[in-house]
Amino acid sequence: MRDPFTLDATGATLTIRATPKASKTAVTGVVALEGDATALGLRVAAPPVDGAANDEVVRFVAKQLRVGRSAVTLVAGQTGRIKRLRIEGDAVALESALRALLP
């Protein structure tokens, strides 16, 4: 199974499948998407109202990867469950942190 993230010289792109209104925000595993694509499953402890779930996704990912919130940008999926995040930073450090986040 492929990793739910890609790396480049300036950072990483992470695909997430969010499930809102959970009791707490937590990683649930890697889930298969169409074709050979995968996403990181994430339960989100916020409702999908007024961007609250998106804000929680960004906050949680930034905290887990130990980067500032400004380094994490939601680039796709503002209104859907499948979200794509851009994380700016050192690719080697991000790869290590992303692999630690995977179950």
Query: Which residue would you say has higher pLDDT here, 72 or 35?
Result: 72
pTM as predicted: 0.92
Residue 94 has pLDDT above 90, yes or no: yes
Domain that holds residue 53: 5-101
Task: Look at 22-26, 42-46, 47-51, 60-64 and tell me which has the smallest mean pLDDT.
Answer: 47-51
Residue 66 has pLDDT above 90, yes or no: yes
Tally of domains within the chain: 1
Q: What was the pLDDT predicted at 19?
A: 93
CA distance 68 to 77: 21
Q: What was the pLDDT predicted at 89?
A: 93
pLDDT tens digits along 1-27: 789 999 999 999 999 999 999 999 999
**Residue of 2, 6, 9, 14 whose CA lies nearest to 86:** 14
Q: What was the pLDDT predicted at 103?
A: 82
Assign residue 63 the CATH number of its domain: 3.30.1200.10
Residue 26: partners with Cβ closer than 8 Å, 6 or more residues away:
42, 43
